[in-house]
Amino acid sequence: MMCKKLTLLCSLLVLMLIVKEITPRVEFTNLKCRSVNKDFAEFTQCTLKSINRTYKYISGRVTLYKLPITKARVNFGLYKRFNGYRPFLYNQTIDACHFFKHQKANPVAKYFFDMIKEFSNLNHSCPYNSDIIVEKLTTDTVNHHVTKILPYPEGDYMLETHWMLNDIFCGVIQVYLTLF
């Protein structure tokens, strides 16, 4: 009798560990896209879609009106909520055209780019002659990066990016997520 209870208890503990491992720890909470210069570029899609309680994805599309894009600079910052959002670990500005040619030269930018690489058409260096698209970026990919590759502490985060294309400030994207 005691042996059966011990076996059941051990089985439950193992099951709890397995369930904890397969449960995503990341949840998208909000997405904001703001076009600054609508004559140059405009967000025609900026959506956070919830399919069910555990499956959410982000999609976005920037329509570019003045092509080709030969220069691109991106400032990205990671913020954590402590009585408002405060800078956390990273705030960098990169030359995106140079980065796409030499990704290994900037491991921090590569870490964030690897999250969206499979879901976007940002797959070559400048010039860009078409719209920029991110399609169905799921929490699974982000979860893998923030728990396995470089673990982060629990909390609410915001990744904010500022985009300058051909030396014109075009837009801001804010991705809000919770890590638990």
Spatial contact of 121 and 39, defined as CB atoms under 8 Å apart: no
CATH number of this structure's domain 24-179: 2.70.220.10
Identify the CA nearest to 63 among candidates 1, 145, 121, 116: 121
β strands within the chain, DSSP E: 26-35, 41-50, 56-64, 72-81, 85-95, 132-138, 155-165, 168-179
Structure tokens at 43: 């967000």
Q: Rounded distance, CA 94 to CA 96, Å?
A: 6
Structure tokens at 113: 């780019």
Annotated domain spans of the chain? 24-179
* Model confidence pLDDT, tens digit, residues 122-170: 988 899 999 999 999 999 889 988 888 888 899 999 999 999 999 999 9
* Model confidence pLDDT, tens digit, residues 106-133: 999 999 999 999 999 998 889 999 999 9
Total-model pTM? 0.85
* Model confidence pLDDT, tens digit, residues 28-77: 999 999 999 999 999 999 999 998 877 899 999 999 999 999 999 999 99
